[in-house]
Amino acid sequence: MAKHKAGFVNIVGNPNVGKSTLMNAFVGEKLSIITSKAQTTRHRILGIVNGDDFQMILSDTPGIIKPAYELQSSMMDFVKSAFEDADVLIYMVEIGEKALKDESFFEKIKNSTMPVLLLLNKIDISEQNVLEEQVQYWQEQLPRAEIHPISALQNFNVKEVFERIIELLPESPPYYPKEQLTDRPERFFVNETIREKILQHYKKEIPYAVEIETEEFIEDEEIIRMRSVIMVERDSQKGIIIGHKGNALKRVGVEARKDLEKFFDKQVHIELYVKVNKNWRSNPNQLRRFGYNPQ
């Protein structure tokens, strides 16, 4: 039998390029939330793909930005950590994009000694001649990188890239038990599902001022009962989240419940309430409490 391979495959890139879409496609589960808004992902999230003779440990990371407040600095710490332990680095760009939002990260990619796969995503919305021009551009920028055009959304070239990553993985015993899919507890997925609905339904700054904490998660034979708090930074935001006659909040609850029933494959009852936690995203203690501590 072939020797066992295992390693860390870390996905980095600008916001909204499709990093989470790719990780979910590789894992075959919705581990990371996906929306059309930038900064959807706030943590480093592991997705583990197990085969008889390999274990691929993927990391989805937040999109690279220049941080403006503490929460964003912590998000960039997750990205930095992803440069440090990668066996294979996936740098994802989307069609039409020219450079990373932060040049220091780009220099890190340029100077890294690990294998770099540059994935040019969203080719389903691109013309052939644009695609060729982009491949050439990135080849000049990163001569050492392997370039693969893909569509993470439509699963184009995703399997081929997956096979190529396995080739690049070092020989190693598995790092995690073979049945493990992620490093995150169940409550994390509850929080993220609720946050996804908030990103989808509220405008401007609201989703970025929100953090979720699931206080109760009780699984019975038939049903999982959960209670989660939606935290906002200011009183005015609380009213917006709740909405007229509570309708906006109700919608978040209904949609999150449907997704969570699919995710856990069980009936779900979810109770939501809203609380003001003044300026939590600039407060180091609060950030630690919500799991944004440097790794």
**Sites of contact with ligand GTP (CB under 6 A):** 15-21, 34-36, 38-41, 62-63, 121-122, 124-125, 151-153
Within 17-36, which residues bind Mg ion (CB under 5 A)? 19-20
Tokens encoding 233: 């930074």
- In the complex with Mg ion, the residue whose CB is nearer, 60 or 87, is 60
**283 among the known binding-site residues?**
no
Provide the token pair at 95.
């069609």
What gap in Å lies between CA 11 and CA 280, rounded to an integer? 28
Only one of the segments 40-48, 122-130, 182-190, 254-262 lies at the binding site for Mg ion (rule: CB under 5 A); that segment is 40-48
Cβ atoms of 90 and 82 closer than 8 Å:
no
Q: How far apart are CA 253 and CA 31, in angstroms?
A: 19
- Judge whether 157 is annotated as a binding position: no
| C-alpha distances in Å from residue 234, one per residue of 145, 187, 210, 239, 281 | 45, 24, 10, 9, 11
Q: Is 149 flagged in the annotation as binding? A: no
Q: Strand pairing partners for 90? A: 11, 117
Least distance between ligand GTP and beta carbon 73 (Å): 16
Q: How far is the CB of 206 from ligand GTP (least distance, A)?
A: 16
CB of 40 to ligand GTP, least distance (A): 4
- Among Mg ion, ligand GTP, none, the one that 207 touches (CB under a kind-dependent 5 to 8 A) is none
Task: Tell me the HSE value of 5 on the side-chain side, using a 13 A CA sphere.
Answer: 17
Q: Which residues of this chain interact with Mg ion, rule CB under 5 A? A: 19-20, 40-41
Numbered residues of the known binding site for GTP: 13-20, 60-64, 121-124
Q: Which residues are annotated as a binding site?
A: 13-20, 60-64, 121-124
